[in-house]
Amino acid sequence: MPTSFDFNTSPFDALTVLEQDKIKQSLDVAYYPKGAEIINADVDKNSPLFLVIKGEVHQFRGNAFVSSFGATDWFDGKLITIGRTEFRYVAAEEVVAYLLPARLIRQLAADNSRFGSLLFADISERLSAAASGDQQRELQGFIMAKVKDAYLRKPFFVDGEMSVFDATRILRERNASHVLVRDGELSGVFTNTNLCDAVLLDRDLKAMPVKEASRFDLLTVDVNDDITEALLMMIRHRVHRLVVTEHGGIVGVLGQLDLMSFFSNHSHLIALQIDMAEDIVELRTAAGQIEKFIRTQHGSGVKVSVIGRMVQELNLQIFSKLWSLIAPMDVQLNSCVLVMGSEGRGEQVLRTDQDNALLLRDGFSFDGVEGICARFNEELAIMGYPLCSGQMMMSNPIWRQQCGDFKKTITEWVFSSDPQAPVYLSTFLDAKVVSGDVTLFEDVQQHLIHGPRDYAGFINRFAQAVNLFGDAEPSWWRKILPIGHTESNDMDLKKAGIFPIVHGVRSLALEQGCIETSTKSRIESLVAAHVLEADTGRNLIEALYFLLALRLKSSLNLNTAGGAAIKPDDLSALERDLLKDCLHIAKEFRAFVSKHFHLNVF
């Protein structure tokens, strides 16, 4: 239900109160009857940004449907950045929308670097969503990009002896916000900001030489510097432009807007935000971006495996940064932080419970370490990583031990007949190091993989879990083939497909002593070791990622984190077919694992 303009959505939440007020003052409202064309290809760069209040808008390229926009969505970013768009927008039903003047948006993006970054990140994301390109290649390209790849403005110099008044006139004539100033050997810059300062000095602007109002301590980047370096510099020094040099000579000016429009992936901006966060509050803001990123990526058809990797990377950065903000240096140096479970495997797309542990160096103890760990878990919970109901977190003393003690715990689990033991071991097997001393983890990992065990008994007990949910789920076939029943027939993808694949692969990998953590890389090494047929391996990977994608899709629709319930009725016919195949693959694999470990004799 819209009231007045909602400033709680990205990128508008980055605006200051004054800036929000500017937007409020300049909003118009438009009404479009069903079928009306809102934007067509012959718009100009003064077209406003549209923000839907009510109704649905369809985006077309020519006559081909691209995507649809609903309440609180905005479009078309391309108009804001390059003043053209190849899309048409049509009201699919009655539409009421806010119109935001393009000039104001550009102005705000120039004044407020955070708003600018978010806006352009959003825009570039949508562009890559609508462009059918290889996301990965773009991402790579971006990391590799150099300053010279961005749009550089030609340098324009005035003589330092010129009066401030004349220099200002040149700014106006050139419709520029800066001009370079030459004073003998020195180069400086004269900007709108400098002009304001000069006016306040209350001197005769027609007599005052512009060099006295300019800055000569220029921030420069080289044409061959990484583009990320340029961005960091702008953020660090809070400037809107950098002077670009080549072999020491000035060759151009890189403006913030131009740099931002060069961006092609949001994950970098989030990573950057995480990196730049100076306190927990800033880190929370950055963490809040991740889910939105997942949505847009998923919406643009990026493969779940790719999203999973990027999200894992971002989450690791969050954990690592948080740890560095909370833990004293002494603790950081003598410990190792782990994430475990699906987060460790990188198969976690939306956040489920946090599973983490802290390994301490033998002989190292620190007063108050439990308080630090508890705080770490609580902060993560605030950031949207729910506390683990099974208490597999570093705030629990079992998951916060010195390496030697933890090895003993592992051995106990190995020999234990407690049904929970394989669950703990599985969780730890999937661990990934977040930060700290890696050797601590490697030491414990070796102990688990090559340590003492009553071999057959243990590994069989361990693998037993693949059949945990097996028979609890009656025939899925009936569930997938709609027979026109009305009762809710949700099925849990995790139980029916994901868990058997993940755990079966984990058991085989443990038996082989392989230290990989992601299911995909485990399968690959099992294929290499001829434990699995190459075909089987490929099928398993595909099935797993299809199930994960389906799960992601349903949880995005449900707006909940763990939403694993799938209503077969919500699936397309093709998806139902694929789901049937995938569940079949999972079932076959379960049979294979059972046979392999002789589970049926138990």
Partner 1 sequence: MFFGFQAWLGFKTRRLQRQLTNTSYNFLFAPPPEQEWVSLDCETTGLDRKKDHIITIAAVKIVGTKIMSSERLNLTLCPLTALNPESIRIHRLREADVQDGLSPAEATEKLLNFIGARPLVGYNIKFDQDMINRLIQPIIGIKLPNKVIDVAPMFHDFRSKQLGQGDIDLSFKTIINTLNLPIWAAHDAYNDALMTALIFLSLQNKNK
Residues that bind partner 1 (CB under 8 A): 1-4, 25-33, 36, 53-54, 94, 96, 99, 101
* Least gap, CB of 28 to partner 1 (angstroms): 5
Beta strands 400-402; 432-436: pairing state: unpaired
Pick the closest to residue 38 from 95, 104, 86 (CA basis): 95
At position 332, the amino acid (one-letter code) is Q
Q: Which residues pair with 407 in a beta bridge?
A: none
Reported as type and span, the H/E element at residue 216 is none
DSSP state of 209: B
Task: State in Å, rounded, how far the first CA of the chain is from the last one.
Answer: 58
Between 95 and 444, CB nearer to partner 1: 95
> What whole-number distance in Å separates Cα of residue 126 and Cα of residue 299?
9
* Least gap, CB of 9 to partner 1 (angstroms): 16
* Least gap, CB of 97 to partner 1 (angstroms): 10
* Least gap, CB of 10 to partner 1 (angstroms): 21
**CB contact at 8 A, 22 and 12:** no
3-state secondary structure of 438: helix
The Cβ of residue 435 has, within 10 Å, a number of other Cβ atoms equal to: 19
The Cβ of residue 159 has, within 10 Å, a number of other Cβ atoms equal to: 13
State how far the alpha carbon of 65 is from the alpha carbons of 62, 91, 92, 585, in Å: 8, 13, 11, 34
* Least gap, CB of 102 to partner 1 (angstroms): 13
**CB contact at 8 A, 554 and 565:** yes
Backbone region of residue 35 per phi and psi (left: phi > 0; alpha: psi in -120 to 50; beta: other values): left
* Least gap, CB of 35 to partner 1 (angstroms): 10
* Least gap, CB of 1 to partner 1 (angstroms): 6
Q: How far is CA 326 from the centre of its chain?
A: 23
* Least gap, CB of 16 to partner 1 (angstroms): 20
DSSP H helical ranges for 101-244: 102-111, 113-130, 135-144, 164-174, 192-200, 227-237
Between 5 and 469, CB nearer to partner 1: 5
3-state secondary structure of 93: coil
DSSP one-letter string for 12-36: GGGS-HHHHHHHHHH-EEEEE-TT-
Between 37 and 149, CB nearer to partner 1: 37
Between 68 and 391, CB nearer to partner 1: 68
Between 51 and 433, CB nearer to partner 1: 51
Between 4 and 389, CB nearer to partner 1: 4
Tell me which long-range contacts 549-552 makes (C-beta under 8 A, separation of at least 24): 549/303, 549/304, 550/493, 550/575, 550/579, 551/349, 551/493, 551/494, 551/498, 552/294, 552/298, 552/304, 552/307, 552/349, 552/350
Between 106 and 182, CB nearer to partner 1: 106
Backbone angles phi, psi at 158, to 5 degrees: -125, 160
> What whole-number distance in Å separates Cα of residue 246 and Cα of residue 289?
36
Between 46 and 324, CB nearer to partner 1: 46
Between 93 and 442, CB nearer to partner 1: 93
> What whole-number distance in Å separates Cα of residue 440 and Cα of residue 431?
13
Between 96 and 326, CB nearer to partner 1: 96
* Least gap, CB of 56 to partner 1 (angstroms): 12
Placement of tokens 């010129």 in the chain: 162
* Least gap, CB of 82 to partner 1 (angstroms): 24
DSSP state of 48: P
Omega of the bond leading into 430 within 30 degrees of 0 (cis): no
Helices (H), strands (E): how many in the chain? 25, 20
* Least gap, CB of 27 to partner 1 (angstroms): 6
Backbone angles phi, psi at 68, to 5 degrees: -125, 150
* Least gap, CB of 55 to partner 1 (angstroms): 8
* Least gap, CB of 48 to partner 1 (angstroms): 10
Between 29 and 329, CB nearer to partner 1: 29
